[in-house]
Amino acid sequence: MREAALMTGSDTGPRQTPAELEAEINEEQRRLAETIDRLLEEARPANIARRRLEQARDHGTRLVEEARALVIGGNAVRVESHLVEPEEGSVLLKGDEEVVSTYQSRRRLPPEVIALAVGLGMAVTVGVVAWAVRRRRS
């Protein structure tokens, strides 16, 4: 917020007119209203559920990648690892921070591994959908 240029009787210099003060107040009210609208939108249950579903998908993808790395053993190379930061405006609970590692295979995956990954992905997807439906009904 910018500082008002109001001067007292003994000071010399420009004074802020009532119209300028009113415009500044209106601008602050507009910014506050936008902030409240954004916070209300982020706090809507549907938006919270959508973010949690995206997180579950991300976790499922990571599990599949880790399972693939375990199955193929020494043929997987970790490419990089990084700390996942929580979404802006979210509340960080103990254990929410996590490190995600990316693996790359040195060779083509055998069909058994692909079938395992697809089955695991389907199981995670079915579990997330069932969880979301159950939460919606209650």
> Does the pLDDT value for residue 1 go beyond 50?
no
Global pTM reads: 0.36
Q: pLDDT digit string (tens) for 48-105?
A: 888 888 888 888 887 777 776 666 665 666 667 766 666 666 665 555 566 666 656 5
Q: Average pLDDT, whole number, for the chain?
A: 76
**Domain positions in the chain:** 45-72+108-137
pLDDT band, very low/low/confident/very high, at 27 (cuts 50, 70, 90):
very high
Token readout for 88 is: 């802006």
Mean pLDDT of 26-55: 90
Token readout for 107 is: 């060779």
